[in-house]
Every structure is written in C-alpha cells, then in structure tokens.
Structure 1
Amino acid sequence: MTESLSTILSDKSVDQSLENEPVLTLEKVHYHVSSDEEVLSIIKGCDLSVQLGEKLAIVGRSGSGKSTLLALMAGLELPSSGEIRLLGQALSQLNEDERAKVRAMAVGFVFQNFQLMPSMTALENVLMPLELFQMPNAEQEARKALQRVGLSNRLTHRPSELSGGEQQRVAIARAFVTGPKILFADEPTGNLDEATAGEIQTLLFQLNDELKTTLILVTHDNRLAQQCDRALSLQNGQLRG
C-alpha cells in the first residue's frame, strides 16, 4: 500500500473517494465452517452494494447467519471466498492489524448485549475509543456524547448500576463518539422491553441522521427494518430483496 491507512481513512479522503462509490460492497461472498464430519455453508454467494449515508436493514430468523454476515462486512471474519470492500479497502488485502485500524478509525458498533467494560464507568467506556488514538479533547467529547444520549447524570455509574436501556445508550454514545463513517448494529433493541426498544430505536436513527452515518443493522424486527431506506432478507445464506 502506497498510502498509510490514516491518510486513506481521513474524513476528507473518505468523502472524496466514496462520493460516487459504494461505502461497502460484497462480491460473491461465501463463508463456511468445516468440521470432521461436514462443511457447513452459512453465507452462499452474497452480493451487495451500500452507498454512503444509506440506512440498510438485513432481516432474518435467529440462526440465519445475520450476525456472521455483519462480522464479515466489518472485517471481523474473512470470507471463505469472494471479496468485501469496506470504505474503499479490499479487506482480504489487509492484515489483521490493518483491518482493526479501519474499524477503529471509521467504524462504529452497537451490539444486542451492549459489550460494555463492566469495571469501567459510563464515561470511561465512551472515552476508551477516543483515548486509543489519543484524540484531542477526549473527555470533553465523551461527556458531550453521553449528554446527547441523555445520560449526563450517569457518568460515574458502571454497567451493573444502569438499566438495559441506559447501557445501550452508553453503547450508542461510544459508537458515535468517534464520528464513524459506517455503523454496524447487531439486534440493537433485542434485549430491551418494547417501550425501551422504541426509545433506543428513535435515538439511534436520530443520531445517525444528524451525523450522516451509513447504518447497516441486522434484526428480526420488521418494524425496525421499516425505518431504513432499504431492507433485505437473509434466507438460506443468500440475500434477497
């Protein structure tokens, strides 16, 4: 690579390079897991193109491979065959550290089970990605992010002292605090009661629109999917419109 990832993934560079290009593409992506007895095909020849700023939902039943597909899109796993390009980068051509740097600099995550550090306060959890890259005014930005999600009075509370909805708000603040170009959400309301899920759904889409982030979420909730620009169904390992 002739340019550093930091240069390639700078705000200006990403915006210019992806102005007329997809932010994410999948080309004939397959993923299988082998055991002594059989080869289990989970993803079977998926093709996909996502534009910058688009909100895309991928729906499917539990066990259909949605989370696996999301992990492939984010470079957490590599496909058995086919190619994935994320933010202009062919993930198969990057080593593990380079893929991690792409995620850290330009990708946010929201998970069903929140994935907060239990020993850290809400503020410390949101600070973590900012301090990782020694970003300026880190604590000020983390406080602003928590204020934006309605938790300015819970900064010093640890996850065990927060409700499920509050924990997801912390996770959303952490996901958006670095200004990601693309946000992956894996069943973001799956562990919440109906009323709280509605609040989190509203917050997620509101912040996404404000920051002009590309949103890709996987869900079994058709009501959540209907809030997106486009919804695809994952059936038998294949994406269907």
Structure 2
Amino acid sequence: MKTVEILILGYGWQGKYVDQICRESGINVAATTTSGREETIPFKFDPVNSDPQQYKRLPSAKTVLITFPLPTIESAAIIMGLYNAAHGDKSKWILLGSTRAFVGKPWADRHGPVQPDARYNAEEAFLKLGGCVLNLAGLYGGSRQPQNWIPRVAPTKEALKLKTSLHLIHGLDVARLIVKVSNNFTAGQRWIVTDLRVYDWWELVLGYEAGERLDWVRELILESGCKAVPRPPDMMDRALDSKEVWKQFDMKPLESLFHPK
C-alpha cells in the first residue's frame, strides 16, 4: 500500500472537501468509506470487535484525519493503537469535533467554559494521546445551505422566538485549515472553528424568508425589546470566539454566508 500525506478516515461530506483541496494542491490523499464506494478503501471502525487486518490494508500517512465522532472514551486508544501497530507511530492525528459542549454565555472560546458530554470526553482522551481536535461550528456548502434549514428550525413563531445564535463554517475553509494543521501540527490542542461571525437566526429569516415568518420576526423584535438584528451576544444563548485558530495558523476564513466567494 502506498504512503500518503493525508488519510481521511470517513470520506463523507467533509471528506470530499478535504479530498478536493488536497488534489488541487498536489497532496497525496486517500480516504475510506464503510463500503469502499467512489474508489475509497473499505474501513469500518468498531471499538468492540476491531479487526487488525483492516488497519494493515490502509496506507501509511503523515496525517490521519478522523471525520466521525469517537463513540467511547476508549476509542481513541483503540483506533490509534491498531493503526500504529500496522504502520508505526509517526502519524499525526486530527479529529473533527463539535462545538456543542461550549456553553459560555455570552462568550466561549477554546478554553471553555464547557459542559462536557460523551463526545467531548472522547475528544479529551484523543488529546491526551497527542491528537489535535478541531471543534467545528455548523458545516455548510454546496447544497447544504442554512436558509434551507429555516422551515425545520422555525415551524412556528414560538419556535422562532427560542432561536438565537448560529455559528457556521464552510466545508472548503475546514479543508484548508486541515491541510495547514497537518503541516503545522499542534499536538494535544483543541481549536474552535467558525467563520468569525455570530449569526442571528432572526436576521437569517429577515434575509431569506417572505410572508408569515418575516412577520414573526418583526413582531418578535417589537415584543422582545431588542432594537434591531443581529441581536447582541448578551441577548442570545452563546457566542463562540474562534480567533485563536486563525491567528495560530496565520489564516482567515474565505467563505461567509453573507459574502460567498
């Protein structure tokens, strides 16, 4: 099996963007799916009944990217241990995580505050083994657009009343960052990743909707006492501060929901 610079465990939605950026940049890349579709390598992580042979069928990689949540605290040691047993322990490991555990009001950054859940605790175990975690805001790009989520998250005025902040990051910017982290690795560190904006669901409705939902927002602005949208962070559930990751890797996000490239 050939050696690659980046091995994507779990091709999926985000993996396709990573694959695209790698190929455009001349970076050797390989990816897995559970079925081996789209010329990927068949691989399925099982923390209980792991088959060492499937790890031997994977290529050696400078960086291994895990795009799926680790289901248990023990998962990090299992997946990293079996891969390293087959290929040595020289690979760097990146895990894509969630921002759900960061609950600071109004502001939270990569240092917290947090309300740990099972996924966060599994990420902590991964960090202790020298991995790097990218805690991603809401992913969008292509056909995956937040304006299409509005009917689901705001079916009624009362539901919309409860909607506050939204944090996003485009799949292409995540892919760009993954390549940069691979080349400038930060072992044992976690980073919050957003596009440096705090979106307001009410503002999104004003910008994208017509008819009844538009009327709801106008009514809610008058009823809530806020002066305009977007509402300030102290009027919303939380605001995520992601500037450290962009400063650390000397980058800036290129995509924004309101200013697409």
Scaled by the length of structure 2, the TM-score of the pair is 0.30
Larger RCO, structure (CA 8 Å, separation 6 or more): 1
Higher strand share: 1
If the length of structure 1 is used for normalisation, what is the TM-score? 0.31
